[in-house]
Structure 1
Amino acid sequence: MTDRTAHPDPVTDRLDHTLAAIWHGADLVRLETVPVPPLGPGDVLVQVRLATVCGSDRHTVSGRRVQPCPSVLGHETVGEIVAFGAGGARAVDGQELRLGQRIIWSVTLPCGTCDRCTAGITAKCHTVRKAGHESWDSSWGLSGGYARHVLLPAGMPIAAVDDALPDALAAPAACATATVMAVTERATPMAGKRVVVVGAGMLGLTAVAAAATAGARSVTAVDPDAERRALAERFGATDVRPTMPTTEPFDVLLEFSGSSAALQEGLRTLDVQGVAVLAGAVLPDAPVALAPEAVVRRHLSVVGVHNYEPRHLTAALDFLARTRDRFPWQDLVADPVPLEQIGDLLLAPPGTKPRYSIAPR
């Protein structure tokens, strides 16, 4: 197997092949030299600098989650632009993108014209395509970050990364951090509120930091793992618990564990005008009982968030830039390993840090 590394033209792509880790089902991931399609107008070709391993990809390989196969997985990625299609491209904030610029991009690629897109719910576009979730045999085979290059089709929401932000902070911003920005937006202002965060993985720890930064009166983190509870304290939690406290009232519940039992207990603790935002229940679990009378009498709000909008990409990067020196973000991502080891990472048990990472170069 060879790896061809021709230099691309800045406008018309001349890099004809790259190396990608293609998932063929079950635990079979093969490194393959694959063609790079010609760039159309508005397309962007990116060389991957770092990709982190999201739990959803691990769920895919373990059989807990269904996705097209074969495919190139990976959707938490930071890279640098090496070529443009005709007309170039712009970031979500309107700035013109340039060669060599570090960027992150959205998990979702919406059509931009359906009723959901025009209503501002592009994450639920009727024909949405997703980075790292497309079939290799589709028109967007080179969509995932577990490769040396990714092709970003025209219309993909892109955000430029500030030079001061390390790759290990920028890559998770494309999924975990941006999702938390969407969650906290739905939670209404948290200043002065009593917040409980259920699940202290990558998203939960980010949410703890977001609540603390927003000026919450208290931030309680709930997770059965002692190491994660200790991390939560370093990210701003004022209290940590192995299980959901049942005697304390909360104003905001942010749920990232996907545990129906924990959610059930958490809903009971919401005070008057309490808000519950659910983001962790992405796999089937037991139903949760919700008493309508409690919702009515306590003026409760229960909402769900899945993925995020383009504005949350820039919000994620801004949040990380503001808090880079306040919280130990570097402790959440393991040191990168070569692309050749991605198959092992997808099957490995959880590590001491919430995210594994690979550096294809």
Structure 2
Amino acid sequence: MTHAKDLVLACYARWDGVGRPFAVVERATPRVPGRGELLVRVDMATVCGSDLHTVSGRRSSPVPGVLGHEQVGTVVGVGEGGVLCVDGTPVALGMRVVWSVISSCGRCDRCARGLSQKCRGLRKYGHEPLLEGAPLTGGFASHCVVLPGTAVVAVPDGVPDEVASPASCATATVAAALAATGPLADRRVLVTGAGMLGLTAVAMAVTAGARVVAVDPDPLRREQARMFGAAEVLGGAIPPEEVDVALEFSGRSSAVRVCFDSLGMGGTAVLVGSVAPDDPVRVDPERLVRGLNRIVGVHNYRPEDLLTGVEFLAAHHDSFPFADLVEGRFALGDVGSAFEAARLRAAPRQAVAPGCVLPM
């Protein structure tokens, strides 16, 4: 028999489809989760661009569901067998953590090839169908059950929630993109799209010793790119000088074209933002061959990328205005307003504080 003392009263914001309001649902969940699982109290979650795509209907997602995959939280339950952080540290009660957007099996052929981010049995937080018996699968909830096979990284005390929350998507994804480029010291780097990922990429590339050119049609974002270290900013034109690396985060076909056309000899284009339909982009195979160019796609990321992202934020968040990129502190019962603010692009991220169920 399960006693009340063995349960935690959790709540989640249920998404019921395009054009429909979120509904806050309460549910009791075991204080001690299953073997290899964690129960984490979500301290803050942020609205990612892919969440916006889902709510607008631009991106397909199961209905109903619990959205949200950028969050930071505190461990309140550890399942039998325990869980290790990416660096090998055992997860303990009270530890402040972020976790990967995906869980993987570790056994399939893709996992064996080092492609755990594309595991054949992959489960993705904030993108799963709602299961009445196990609904705590997204960040827009008071608690999340972190499944076995999920990368977990401890967050140092000095890193604010506003800085840490995007690490599990934006920062780790940028770390994966930069891992595909090779060393960046003394290289000329183009970043297209100066949203959350693009600004993070500017900061990480500059810290690695690169000279960065940022491209975005929005004047405010261009100014933010300067604050994050960009040496040059453009509204959309091809840079006057060729680049060694082009990082594309906007998802716009026109920006992909700029990346391709800006590459110099031996240059690499890394495409990250193209996760929703847009116009096809023509590739000139002769230019690709004669230029010794590479085109790399990055989607999701590896466990070590999450660790790299958190370590970067811990070391450099005081040097760049990361905390200023997150606005709001919406209650879980007012998550729809957080999405509306995000749609208006008031800031790259809007924050939800799930511990507060209803608006103050």
User: What range describes the TM-score normalised by the shorter chain of this pair?
Assistant: over 0.9
Alpha-carbon distance, 1:19 to partner = 1.1
One-letter amino acid matched to 2:313 = L
Deviations 1:263-303 (A, max 9, x none): 11221121000000000000111111111110111100001
Alpha-carbon distance, 1:87 to partner = 2.0
User: Paired residue for 2:21?
Assistant: 28
Alpha-carbon distance, 1:16 to partner = 4.3
- Alignment of 1:15 with 2:4, yes or no, is no
Please, which moves more after superposition, 196-205 or 127-136? 127-136
Distance 1:109 1:140, change over 3 A: farther
Partners of 2:121 and 2:169 in 1: how far apart? 20
Alpha-carbon distance, 1:248 to partner = 2.1
User: Paired residue for 1:290?
Assistant: 283
Partners of 1:149 and 1:49 in 2: how far apart? 9
Give the conservation status (yes or no) of the 8 Å contact 1:251–1:274.
yes
Partners of 2:220 and 2:291 in 1: how far apart? 35
- Alignment of 1:112 with 2:106, yes or no, is yes
User: Paired residue for 1:249?
Assistant: 242
Alpha-carbon distance, 1:40 to partner = 1.4
Give the conservation status (yes or no) of the 8 Å contact 1:53–1:355.
yes
One-letter amino acid matched to 2:106 = G
Q: 1:85 aligns with which of 75, 79, 87?
A: 79
Deviations 1:149-192 (A, max 9, x none): 11112222111111111111111000000000000000111111
Partners of 1:16 and 1:82 in 2: how far apart? 10
Deviations 1:219-266 (A, max 9, x none): 110000000000000000000011132542111100001111121122
Give the conservation status (yes or no) of the 8 Å contact 2:328–2:338.
no
One-letter amino acid matched to 2:15 = W
- Alignment of 1:223 with 2:216, yes or no, is yes
The SS at the match of 1:116 is helix
Normalised by the length of structure 1, the TM-score is: 0.94
One-letter amino acid matched to 2:104 = P
Q: 1:263 aligns with which of 235, 251, 256?
A: 256
How many residue pairs get aligned? The number is: 349
Normalised by the length of structure 2, the TM-score is: 0.94
Deviations 1:78-132 (A, max 9, x none): 0001111112211111111111110000001011100110111111111100011
One-letter amino acid matched to 2:237 = M
Give the conservation status (yes or no) of the 8 Å contact 2:267–2:293.
yes
Runs of 4+ that moved beyond 6 A: none
The SS at the match of 2:169 is helix
Structure 2 spans left out of the alignment, 5+ residues:
356-360
Q: 1:346 aligns with which of 339, 351, 355?
A: 339
Give the conservation status (yes or no) of the 8 Å contact 1:48–1:360.
yes
User: Paired residue for 1:278?
Assistant: 271
Q: 2:202 aligns with which of 176, 185, 208?
A: 208
Structure 1 spans left out of the alignment, 5+ residues:
1-5, 8-13
Distance 1:19 1:139, change over 3 A: closer
Deviations 1:181-215 (A, max 9, x none): 00000011111111110000000000000110010
Alpha-carbon distance, 1:140 to partner = 4.5
Please, which moves more after superposition, 219-228 or 146-155? 146-155
Partners of 1:156 and 1:265 in 2: how far apart? 36
Partners of 2:251 and 2:123 in 1: how far apart? 24
User: Paired residue for 1:355?
Assistant: 349
Aligned counterparts, 1:70-81, within 5 A: 70-81=64-75
Please, which moves more after superposition, 244-253 or 86-95? 244-253
One-letter amino acid matched to 2:183 = P
- Alignment of 1:48 with 2:42, yes or no, is yes
Partners of 1:265 and 1:46 in 2: how far apart? 42
Alpha-carbon distance, 1:133 to partner = 1.0
Give the conservation status (yes or no) of the 8 Å contact 2:41–2:74.
yes
Partners of 1:189 and 1:84 in 2: how far apart? 39
One-letter amino acid matched to 2:71 = T
Partners of 2:65 and 2:136 in 1: how far apart? 8
Partners of 2:256 and 2:133 in 1: how far apart? 40
Partners of 1:326 and 1:247 in 2: how far apart? 29
Give the conservation status (yes or no) of the 8 Å contact 1:50–1:77.
yes
One-letter amino acid matched to 1:169 = V
User: Paired residue for 1:65?
Assistant: 59
The SS at the match of 1:158 is strand
- Alignment of 1:194 with 2:188, yes or no, is yes
One-letter amino acid matched to 1:198 = T
Compute the RMSD of aligned alpha carbons: 1.4
